[in-house]
Structure 1
Amino acid sequence: MTDNDRLRVAVIIGSTRVGRFGPVPARWIAAHARGRGDLDVDMVDLADAGLPTVMGGDDESEPLPEPVAALGTRLAAADAFIVVTPVYNRGYPASLKNAVDWYFEEWSAKPVGFVSYGGAGGGLQAVEQLRNVFNEVHAHTVRSAVAFSDFPDRFDAQGRPTDAEGADAAAKELLDQLSWWALALKEARGRRPFTV
């Protein structure tokens, strides 16, 4: 495999809450992605991104705030995204919505996969809402997702899933779909730029 064949995946930790669990499943899925041999991983932690929560007006001549421009460069370089999200009050974190709303072209015509965690539902309520949100920025969400219900009991002290066999199979399915769509959409964007 040449470097040109490799795909760049941004793994996005969606929660910025103090004491959050998100880095644990994010590191786990990132390790799976790196282990495939066809994916390069950029770990994006929204807690470190410093995105403003107040957006500018419609004046496009105004420069973007530096944190917005910096993250935008990383998102634009990605061929695909894995969003790691908890479920908060039957929805997804405000920090994640803020990150989606600052950008448009950076998401467009690229696939998005999900790793979620929560109580009995494993965060899937957040994922289902995010599918609608990403549709509006012309991203393609892949069908398979990884969900960890009752998450504190699903990982050991080293950050490995206690059901390694089941979790690894779910990760493979997600990454197989994500890489297929990433390659297909990258080739399509190369032939004809995506326009709205």
Structure 2
Amino acid sequence: MKIGIILGSVRDSRKGELVAEWVRSHAAQTGGADFEVLDLREFHLPLLTSATLPSMANRTYDSPEVTRWSAAVDACDGFVMITPEYNHGVPGALKNAVDSLGPEWTGKTIAFVSYGADGGVRAVEQWRQIVANFHMIDVRHQVALQLFTEFDQHGLQLQDRREGEIKALLDALVTLTNRLQAA
């Protein structure tokens, strides 16, 4: 089983790299799956302008960048989405990346690790509505990191409870993904 850890910010001096490394280090201790970071910045995705809806494109896209993104997502059985919250919502680049594909997401599992002024919880609530459109199954566990108290010039300064939260999230995601694959 392969789980993609989607680093969903493409901004300069983004905090998501710290979060992705933290998630990856905990994922390495989680049995039952291989984990791979999918850094959205490395895919250079264009804005979705294709006349063909991604859900109807049969995994054949106009852009080589989208085709590469499609292959990376398609190779995964589930995902941990690392999402910042921008202006009380989802980040545009990550929304575009999700919208650029169709069947690659369908029926797969997803868990959310968010960060922002209020932990990124509003972005995750929007993501839960968005991924439902792809019939994705989201785990209820969530890690919501506080931008102003858990990040500083030295990196992450996480609350003690975060260790248990990330373990519970990863365990739930692996268990759910296994159950879906067995079915």
Match of 2:126 among 125, 129, 133: 129
Cα deviation per residue 1:110-147 (whole Å; 9 max; x = unaligned)? 1110000111x200000000000000011111101000
Q: Secondary structure of 1:82's match?
A: strand
Gap regions ≥5 residues in structure 1: 1-6, 189-196
Match of 2:181 among 172, 186, 189: 186
Q: Secondary structure of 1:36's match?
A: coil
Aligned pairs, number: 179
The alpha-carbon deviation at position 162 of structure 1 amounts to 3.2
TM-score, normalising length: structure 1: 0.84
Cα deviation per residue 1:39-83 (whole Å; 9 max; x = unaligned)? 211111111111110321128497431111111111111111011
In 1, Cα distance between equivalents of 2:120 and 2:156: 18
Gap regions ≥5 residues in structure 2: none
Tell me, yes or no, if the aligned pair for 1:82 and 1:115 is still in contact at 8 Å: yes
Amino acid at match of 1:8: K
In 1, Cα distance between equivalents of 2:69 and 2:141: 26
Match of 2:26 among 18, 32, 39: 32
Q: Secondary structure of 1:55's match?
A: coil
1:140 is aligned to 2:134: no
What are the residue-to-residue correspondences of 1:99-178 with 2, within 5 Å?
Answer: 99-119=97-117, 121-149=118-146, 151-155=147-151, 159-163=155-159, 165-178=160-173
Tell me, yes or no, if the aligned pair for 1:28 and 1:159 is still in contact at 8 Å: no
Amino acid at match of 1:55: T
Supply the RMSD in Å over aligned alpha carbons.
1.9
Aligned-pair identity (%):
35
Amino acid at match of 1:50: H
- The corresponding residue for 2:38 is 44
User: Structure 1 residues 69, 122: CA separation in 2 closer, same or farther (over 3 Å shift)?
Assistant: same
TM-score, normalising length: structure 2: 0.90
- The corresponding residue for 1:97 is 95
